[in-house]
Structure 1
Amino acid sequence: MDSEIKEEIPVHEEFILCCGVETQVLKCGPWTDLINNQSGTRPKLLIFIIPGNPGFSPLYVPFAKALYSTTKRRFPVWIISHAGHALAPRGKKVLKSSEDPNAEEIKDIYGLHGQVEHKLAFLRTQVPKEMKLVVIGHSIGSYFSLEILKHAPELPVIHAILLFPTIERISESPKGKFATPLLCWLRYALYVPCYLLLKPWPEKIKSLMTRMVLQMMDIPREFLCLNMLEPFCLVNAAYLGSQEMREVVKRDNETIKEHLPKLIFYYGTTDNWCPKEYYDDMKKDFPEGDIRLCEKKIPHAFIFDFFQEMADMVADWLKDDLSKM
Structure 2
Amino acid sequence: MASIRTRSAAVRQSNVPFLAYPSAKQDDLSRRQCLIFFIPGNPGLVAYYVPFLSTLRQLLDEKEARQDCRHAFHIYARNLLGFDDSDHDPAFGTLAADGVRIEPYTLEDQICCLCERVHDINTSALPPFPVDGAAEGRARVFDQVILIGHSVGAYIALEIFNRHHQSAPFSPLSSVKLTAGILLFPTVSHIARSRSGQKLDLLRRTPFLDRTAHHMAKGFVDLWPRWLLEALVRRVLGQPEHAARATISFLTSKDGIWQALHMGKDEMRTISEEKWSEDLWEIQDAQADDETRLAAAKFFFYFAETDHWVADECRDEFIEKRRRHEKGKTKIVIDEDAIPHAFCISESRTVTSSTTPY
> What's the TM-score once normalised by structure 2's chain length?
0.68
How far does the alpha carbon of each residue in 1:146-204 deviate from its partner, in whole angstroms, 9 at most, with x for none?
11001124221221011111011011112211121224531422333445555699xxx
Structure 2 stretches lacking a partner, 5+ long? 1-9, 65-72, 88-101, 124-139, 166-173, 284-296
* 1:25 corresponds to which of 8, 12, 18: 18
* Structure 2 residue 93 is matched with structure 1 residue 81: no
* Structure 2 residue 54 is matched with structure 1 residue 65: yes
Question: For 1:85-104, what aligned pairs fall within 5 Å after superposition?
Answer: 85-88=83-86
**Rg: which structure is higher?**
2
Relative to structure 1, the CA distance from residue 38 to residue 29 in structure 2 (aligned partners, 3 Å threshold; closer, same or farther) is closer
**AA in 1 matched with 2:264:** G
Q: Distance in 2 between matches of 1:163 and 1:60?
A: 13
Q: Which residue of 1 aligns with 2:136?
A: none
For the 8 Å contact 2:191–2:311, the answer to whether it is kept is no
Question: 1:113 Cα shift?
Answer: 0.7
How far does the alpha carbon of each residue in 1:109-143 deviate from its partner, in whole angstroms, 9 at most, with x for none?
71011110110111122332721211111100011
* 1:175 corresponds to which of 186, 196, 200: 196
Question: Sequence identity, in percent?
Answer: 24
Relative to structure 1, the CA distance from residue 192 to residue 257 in structure 2 (aligned partners, 3 Å threshold; closer, same or farther) is closer
Secondary structure at 1:152 match in 2: helix
* 1:243 corresponds to which of 251, 263, 266: 266
* Structure 2 residue 147 is matched with structure 1 residue 135: yes
Structure 1 segments, 4+ long, off by >6 Å, are none
Q: Distance in 1 between matches of 2:195 and 2:272?
A: 14
For the 8 Å contact 1:24–1:81, the answer to whether it is kept is yes
**AA in 2 matched with 1:168:** S
Question: For 1:1-325, what aligned pairs fall within 5 Å after superposition?
Answer: 19-21=11-13, 22-29=15-22, 39-40=27-28, 44-72=33-61, 74=64, 75-88=73-86, 110-128=105-123, 130-131=141-142, 132-153=144-165, 154=174, 155-185=176-206, 186-196=209-219, 206=226, 209-210=229-230, 213-214=233-234, 216-221=237-242, 224-225=245-246, 226-254=249-277, 257-259=280-282, 261-287=297-323, 289-315=330-356, 318-319=357-358
For the 8 Å contact 1:137–1:144, the answer to whether it is kept is yes
Relative to structure 1, the CA distance from residue 29 to residue 277 in structure 2 (aligned partners, 3 Å threshold; closer, same or farther) is same
Q: Distance in 2 between matches of 1:163 and 1:119?
A: 18
For the 8 Å contact 1:84–1:232, the answer to whether it is kept is yes
Question: 1:227 Cα shift?
Answer: 2.6
For the 8 Å contact 2:193–2:310, the answer to whether it is kept is no
Relative to structure 1, the CA distance from residue 46 to residue 82 in structure 2 (aligned partners, 3 Å threshold; closer, same or farther) is same
Q: Distance in 2 between matches of 1:130 and 1:255?
A: 29
Secondary structure at 2:153 match in 1: helix
For the 8 Å contact 2:193–2:311, the answer to whether it is kept is no
Question: 1:291 Cα shift?
Answer: 1.5
Question: 1:220 Cα shift?
Answer: 3.2
Question: 1:246 Cα shift?
Answer: 1.0
Question: 1:207 Cα shift?
Answer: 7.7
Relative to structure 1, the CA distance from residue 183 to residue 77 in structure 2 (aligned partners, 3 Å threshold; closer, same or farther) is farther
Relative to structure 1, the CA distance from residue 53 to residue 256 in structure 2 (aligned partners, 3 Å threshold; closer, same or farther) is farther
> What's the TM-score once normalised by structure 1's chain length?
0.74
Relative to structure 1, the CA distance from residue 188 to residue 271 in structure 2 (aligned partners, 3 Å threshold; closer, same or farther) is same
How far does the alpha carbon of each residue in 1:21-53 deviate from its partner, in whole angstroms, 9 at most, with x for none?
54111123477xxxxx98447971121111111
For the 8 Å contact 1:207–1:224, the answer to whether it is kept is no
**AA in 2 matched with 1:66:** T
**AA in 1 matched with 2:156:** F
Question: 1:253 Cα shift?
Answer: 4.0
Q: Distance in 2 between matches of 1:304 and 1:262?
A: 27
Relative to structure 1, the CA distance from residue 152 to residue 210 in structure 2 (aligned partners, 3 Å threshold; closer, same or farther) is farther
CA-based RMSD: 3.2
**AA in 2 matched with 1:130:** V
Relative to structure 1, the CA distance from residue 257 to residue 230 in structure 2 (aligned partners, 3 Å threshold; closer, same or farther) is same
For the 8 Å contact 1:270–1:276, the answer to whether it is kept is yes
Relative to structure 1, the CA distance from residue 270 to residue 198 in structure 2 (aligned partners, 3 Å threshold; closer, same or farther) is closer
Q: Distance in 1 between matches of 2:227 and 2:35?
A: 32
